[in-house]
Structure formats: C-alpha cells, structure tokens
C-alpha cells in the first residue's frame, strides 16, 4: 500500500503538463494575431499603483472596479469615522483634565477611565482601517499584475485532465480505485 502512494507521487510529481504553446503568437477573441507583450503585467501594475482600479480597466476587467473601490472606500470610511470619534473622546478627556465641564450629556456621564478606554479602542480601529486601506491598495496592484500575466496564456482546448473514482463491488469485497487520465 505504501509503495502505491510512492509510485502515485512519483507519477504526478515528475509529470509536467504544458498548456502554453512555444510560439510567441496568441489567437485573440477578434481572430487577429497578436504578439505577446512581456511588459503588459508591469503596465497594469503601474496603472493600478497610479490610480486604484486603472489596472483593472487596462485589463478590461470592469467588474472588478466596484470591488476595488468598495474595499478601499469602506476602509477609508471607517478610518475617518474612527478618527472623528477618537478626537471627540480625546477632547473630552483634555477638558476634564483642564477642569472644564462637558457640553454633552452622554460624555459627562462617562468616567475618565472610560474616556481613555474609548480613545484606545477608536485609535486601534483607526490604525486597523489604515492597515486595510494599504492592504487593499497593494492587493489591487497585485491583482492587476497577475490578471495581465495570466491573460496572455494560450491554453489549448485539447488539454484535459479527468480524475475518476472507481468502485467495484464483487461479492462483498469493496474495492476502490482512482484513475486519472490526461491528454494534450
């Protein structure tokens, strides 16, 4: 049984399937021949770095624009909201230290420790939102780069990989098998 797994691993581990043709020509949807542009991924990443979503427009993946702007916009909204709330609680805490009273009934009912705790919470939320803004911005650039690189692969329609599970019930002897076939 152990040798079968080793043979299966060697078979799949040492076998390569190539879907990219060696020629430098790709058949486009409009049936024109087009040269492969090695700078296309770099251009898409550059455009997305200049303005988020521009790389997706360059790749003609318009459906990704709402995702890019939704992610960055939502993170920006939470950043601004957390900063505003942080300032409210910080200013109230500073007023208390100076001996002034609050103009808000809600804030006047909070203790100083609650004000400090609220400041820390909104500061943490603000910092996490800033991290998400940067993360989604970088993810936007990476997506444009990878999408541009993968759009140039010419995958042959003859390429097929068909795994199948074989079950054999012969006189209460349940035999299972795995068959994989690929063609190109």
* Residues whose CB falls within 8 Å of the CB of residue 21, separated by 6 or more in sequence, listed in order: 154, 156
- C-alpha dist (Å) from residue 18 to 33, 130, 158, 161: 21, 42, 11, 12
CA distance 46 to 53: 11
Q: What is the pLDDT of residues 65-99, one digit of tens each?
A: 999 999 999 999 999 999 999 999 999 999 988 88
How far is the CA of 24 from the CAs of 48, 107, 168, in angstroms?
Answer: 26, 68, 47
**Rg of the chain's alpha carbons, rounded to an integer?**
29
Contacts of 36 (CB under 8 A, 6+ apart): 24, 25, 26, 152
Of residues 168 and 72, the one with the higher pLDDT is 72
- The model's pLDDT over 104-116, given as tens digits with 9 standing for 90+, comes to 888 888 888 999 9
* pLDDT value of residue 21: 46
Q: Mean of the pLDDT values across residues 12-22? A: 48
């Amino acid at each position: 049984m152990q040798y079968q797994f080793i043979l299966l691993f060697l078979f799949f581990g040492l076998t390569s399937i190539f879907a990219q043709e060696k020629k430098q020509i790709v058949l486009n949807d409009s049936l024109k021949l087009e040269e492969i542009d090695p700078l296309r991924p770099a251009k898409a990443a550059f455009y997305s770095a200049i303005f988020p979503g521009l790389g997706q427009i360059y790749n003609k993946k318009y459906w990704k624009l709402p995702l890019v702007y939704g992610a960055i916009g939502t993170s920006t909204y939470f950043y601004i909201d957390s900063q505003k709330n942080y300032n409210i609680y910080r200013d109230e805490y500073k007023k208390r230290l100076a001996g002034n009273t609050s103009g808000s009934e809600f804030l006047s009912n909070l203790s100083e420790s609650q004000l400090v705790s609220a400041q820390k919470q909104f500061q943490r939320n603000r910092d996490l939102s800033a991290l998400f803004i940067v993360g989604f911005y970088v993810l936007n650039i990476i997506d444009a780069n990878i999408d541009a690189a993968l759009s140039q692969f010419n995958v042959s329609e003859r390429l097929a990989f068909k795994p199948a599970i074989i079950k054999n019930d012969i006189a209460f002897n349940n035999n299972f098998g795995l068959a994989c076939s690929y063609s190109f």
